[in-house]
Amino acid sequence: MLDALAHRGLSVPGDVSVLAVSPRGLAEHLAVPLSVIDVPSVEIGRIAVQMAVERQDEPLPAETRLLAPVLTENGSCAAPSAG
């Protein structure tokens, strides 16, 4: 995406803000370090397995669990320019 934007003459974050979801490792090493939303994938997996084990013998009611993502702000996002 960064290459395509640059090819079109657009700058990040000057013209376009870019926010990635969970590409840890890669995000910090790009020409413009990406701001990242990390989702707690290990915790999601743990809860999914726990729920599957709990439901293997009898159906349980649907359940929703909210897990907080973590925002790491780097150089790829900025407030919109005036105009």
Angle at 24 between CA 18 and CA 26, to 5 degrees: 70
Question: Helices in the chain by DSSP H: which ranges?
Answer: 2-7, 41-54
What are the domain boundaries of the chain?
Answer: 2-72
Each residue's pLDDT expressed in tens, for the chain with a length of 83 residues: 888 999 999 999 999 999 888 766 666 667 788 888 888 888 989 988 888 888 777 777 778 888 988 888 888 888 877 76
The confidence score (pLDDT) of residue 17 equals: 92
Output the six-digit token pair for 20: 């990635």
**Omega prior to 13 cis, within 30 of 0:** yes
Instruction: Look at residue 8 in the predicted model and tell me its pLDDT.
Output: 95
**pLDDT at residue number 57:** 76
- CA-nearest of 42, 23, 43 to 34 is 23
